[in-house]
Chains A and B, each alone.
Chain A
Amino acid sequence: MPASAPKFFANSIVALHGVGKIFDNAVSALDGFDLEIQRGEFVSLLGPSGCGKSTALRIVAGLTEPTVGAVVWNNTEPASRGERGIGFVFQEPTLMPWTNATGNVYLPLRLKGHDREQAAPQISAALTGVGLAEFANAYPRELSGGMKMRVSIARALVTHPRLLLMDEPFAALDEITRFKLNNDLLALWKAMGETVVFVTHSVFESVYLSSRIIVMTPRPGRIFTEIPVDVRYPRDEKFRTSPEYAALCRKVSVALSAAMAAGGGE
């Protein structure tokens, strides 16, 4: 797509131009969806259930082809999908039941050809990072829903992805764990300088984490509005209790209500 190449800012990674997705069963999930992801940003997709958030994320990852529109990678990015350094956390844990937590986290490294001993420190660091060091040998069926999700997060992080795509990763967790992992994720993001696209339907979570919030309309999803969150990182519990945070949450809530009222045009 050389025609759209000049539109790129120097530091953008990938852009979706007028993307629409109609499934075989004639459900239109996305329509005229435009999104440009900048290097190093933390962008959240916020919208009601069924508005096409997961679909948008899968399209960015190249797991689903858009029906219309284009996905354009900056030509500074590797051409092959395996080398782009994408980490993906699915909405479901998506673990291999036949191997334990360690084996699941090892998978991305194994596929890259690392041997198990060489990978062991990285694996245990990733599991420790999500608070599951003690469960390294547990099989998925022995883990709770939230623990499985944390294994899935550890698996996505173990490769230190340059673009991390997360689909409601914390939805199944209790508040305390969720806050802790929010903070861990922010710390990691700062340390790695990576880019995160984060799907959520929690206004509070999106404001706490993001540098930019994309509010989507109901199905077929399109961008209703974009809200920048110009609050300096690192953010901590003080930010969570600040009036500034409350005001931003209110603003995003209002936008989300307006998006739902505006509808998806069906």
Chain B
Amino acid sequence: MSVSRSAARARNRADQALRFILPLAALALGMLAWDLVVRLNAIPSYVLPGPVLVFATIITDWPVLWSSLLVTLTTTFEALLLALIGGVGLAVLFNRSRVFEYSFYPYAVILQVTPVIAIAPLLLIYLPQPAAVLVCAWIVAFFPVLANTTLGLNSVDRNLADLFRLYGATRTQILIHLKLPAALPFILGGLRIAGGLALIGAVVAAIAAGSAGAGSGLAYRIAESGYRLNIPRMFAALILLSIAGIAIFAALSLLSHLILRQWHESAVAPEN
């Protein structure tokens, strides 16, 4: 029995290793193919730079790329924080007052379904550029938090809610000790979606702003490099953006895991 168990564990570990190795191998193959295509066809770097040149650009242009990345990340995290506060706050208000929910929920949905790229130019007229970008990122990020929190607040165990009523709990006590903890896994799930969306929102709005503004985020670098036909730098900025997106998702997943691992099925380690 212990033999089969350790065999199963070994298989499990091999499985995990494969999940790491295979994407990396695919990446390496893709790089190789990219490099070969560029070399064999002698494609000029202002059309398609090879991977080596792109990575060299990341290194040589690091100071400017890094400061741009910081600007984009700052906007993203500010938007995410505001999305968390706004999403959870609105969900709590909706949960408290049906009148409030019926009055304003449709507008939250409208805000969500209107493409942010179409809202951005309008906002840019009324707001300074950084604020407009932040608002756009917030608009796309807050809805998943709102929707998930609403779902979470409504999925409280009925008997537990009865127990709170029986002990004469106040609405605030029910919110703090019952509804919010029950909603926590949902909130964290919403936040994970919101993280990616906040980055997308920040980039899309900055692109819409174009090089007109004084912004210096990564999106601005991409637009600017495009005008100057500095294609290697476009690629370099794009790669940094993807890495930032992956890092945000990984960080939020880790956060969710750390908070829930004690009790929630989604985060509890499988039995062995």
Instruction: Report A98-146 residues with CB < 8 Å from chain B CB.
Output: 98-99, 107-108, 110-112, 139-141
CB within 8 Å: A-B pair count: 60
Q: Report if B15 contacts A (CB, 8 A).
A: no
Q: Which residues of A contact B126 (CB under 8 A)?
A: none
A92 with B166: CB separation less than 8 A: no
B107 to chain A, nearest CB (A): 32
Q: How far is the CA of A97 from the CA of B262 in the complex (A)?
A: 9
Contacting pair B159 A92 (CB below 8 A): yes
Task: From the candidates A63, A140, A141, name the one contacting B162 in the complex (CB within 8 A).
Answer: A63
Is B181 an interface position by the 8 A CB rule?
yes
With A94-B159, A94-B160, A97-B264 as contacts: A63 and B165 at CB distance below 8 Å: yes
- Give chain B's interface residue range (CB within 8 Å of chain A): 20 to 34
- Inter-chain CA distance A159–B168, complex, in Å, is 13
Nearest-Cβ distance from residue B156 to partner chain A, whole angstroms:
10
Give the Cβ gap from B188 to chain A, nearest Cβ, in Å.
12
A4 at the interface (CB under 8 A from B): no
Choose one: A61, A97, A112, A140; the contact of B166 (CB below 8 Å): A61
CB–CB A96/B160 < 8 A: yes
Given A80-B168, A82-B167, A110 and B177 touching (CB < 8 A)? yes
Is residue B27 within 8 Å, beta carbon to beta carbon, of the partner chain?
Answer: no
Q: Give complex CA distance A94, B262 in Å.
A: 18
User: B157, A94: Cβ atoms under 8 Å?
Assistant: yes
A81 at the interface (CB under 8 A from B): yes
B149-174 interface mask toward A, CB cutoff 8 Å, 1 = contact, 0 = none? Answer: 00000000101101111111100010
Task: Report which of B168, B184, B263, B264 forms a contact with A81, defined as CB distance below 8 A.
Answer: B168
Q: Does A88 contact B (CB under 8 A)?
A: yes
Q: Which residue of A lies closest to B173 (CB)?
A: A111
**Inside 8 A of B178's CB, which chain A residues have their CB?**
96
In this complex, what residue of B is CB-closest to A159? B167
Chain B residue with Cβ nearest A81: B168
**B268 within 8 Å of A (CB atoms):** yes
A92-B159, A110-B177 known; A139+B263 contact, CB < 8 A = yes
Residues of A within 8 A of B177 (CB): 107, 110-111
Contacts of B181 in A (CB 8 A): 96, 98-99
Within 8 A of A (CB), among B180-207: 181-182, 184
A46 interface contact, C-beta 8 A: no
Which of A88, A107, A139 has the most C-beta atoms of chain B within 10 angstroms of its own C-beta? Answer: A107
Pairwise interchain contact A82-B163, C-beta atoms closer than 8 A: no
Residues of B within 8 A of A (CB): 157, 159-160, 162-169, 173, 177-178, 181-182, 184, 262-265, 268
Chosen A-B contacts, 20 in total, with CB atoms closer than 8 Å, are: A61-B162, A62-B166, A63-B162, A80-B168, A81-B168, A82-B167, A82-B168, A83-B168, A92-B159, A94-B157, A94-B160, A98-B262, A98-B264, A107-B177, A108-B167, A111-B164, A111-B167, A112-B167, A140-B263, A159-B167
